[in-house]
Amino acid sequence: MPEWDAELMLRVREGDEASFSLLLERHRNPVIHFLYRMVQNQAVAEELAQEVFLRVYRSRETYEPTAKFTTWLFRIATHLALNWIRDHRNERQQTSLDGEVLEGAARQVADRVPSIEQRLVRNARLAEIRTAIETLPAKQRAAVLMHKYEELDYTQIAQVLECSESAVKSLLFRAYETLRLRLARFAG
């Protein structure tokens, strides 16, 4: 509930440390997962998440609930991730998104246990999708991750990326078109 988050942040502004702990507890994992998908390195994602919440805490005295708290939070996370990607472009290791994302997949409990073959096919498809997402330009990747994984709408993504809604639609269109072409063999 977004109003709850803003209310908690307003309490933090007034000096309520317990409210900050609640915000941290509620949003730490989603922020880390988002950052991991962006930078493709668990240790870096955790460091960046610490920086995100440090910046949230440092901004407590000037916080104004002009946008949804999550929009503001993901704007901070996106800026940090894009800056890290820019600064480490040449030294970035080609790692996969498999680690933490599979943890999320493991949380989805099926009624019946898939066969080994079904699991192998599913894992291969997930790996292919993750690889395709990883190869997108950073802003397109951020837009896709916020849209599909964080379920932010166009307005929220535009606020996070500090661009127009039409620019977000264009970013997403290009990203989804690229993904559609790269993943066409799975359509059948």
pLDDT in tens, 20-38: 999 999 999 999 999 999 9
**pLDDT band, very low/low/confident/very high, at 107 (cuts 50, 70, 90):** very low
Kindly report the CATH number assigned to the domain that includes residue 80.
Answer: 1.10.1740.10
* Residues 12 and 91 both lie in one domain: yes
Residue numbers of the domain that contains 81: 1-95
* pLDDT tier for residue 123 given thresholds of 50, 70 and 90: confident
Q: State the total domains in the chain.
A: 2
pLDDT, tens only, 33-73: 999 999 989 999 999 999 999 999 999 988 888 888 888 99
Burial class (CB in 10 A: 0-12, 13-18, 19+), 81: buried
Going by pLDDT thresholds of 50, 70 and 90, the confidence category of residue 176 is very high
Rounded average pLDDT over 72-89 = 90
83 and 6, same structural domain?
yes
Measured in degrees and rounded to the nearest 5, phi and psi for residue 136 equal -65, 150
Neighbours of 157 (CB within 10 A): 27
115 in any annotated domain: no
Question: Of 43, 66, 95, at which residue does a domain stop?
Answer: 95
Whether 91 and 1 share a structural domain: yes
- The whole-number average pLDDT for the span 129-142 is 89
Please indicate, yes or no, whether residues 86 and 152 belong to a single structural domain of this protein. Answer: no
CATH classification at residue 145:
1.10.10.10
| Per-residue exposure over 5-44, b if at least 16 CB sit within 10 Å of its own CB, e if not | bbebbbbbbeeeeebbebbeeebeebbbbbbbbbbbbeeb
Residue 158 in domain: yes
* Shared-domain flag, residues 22 and 73: yes
Domain assignment of residue 171, yes or no: yes
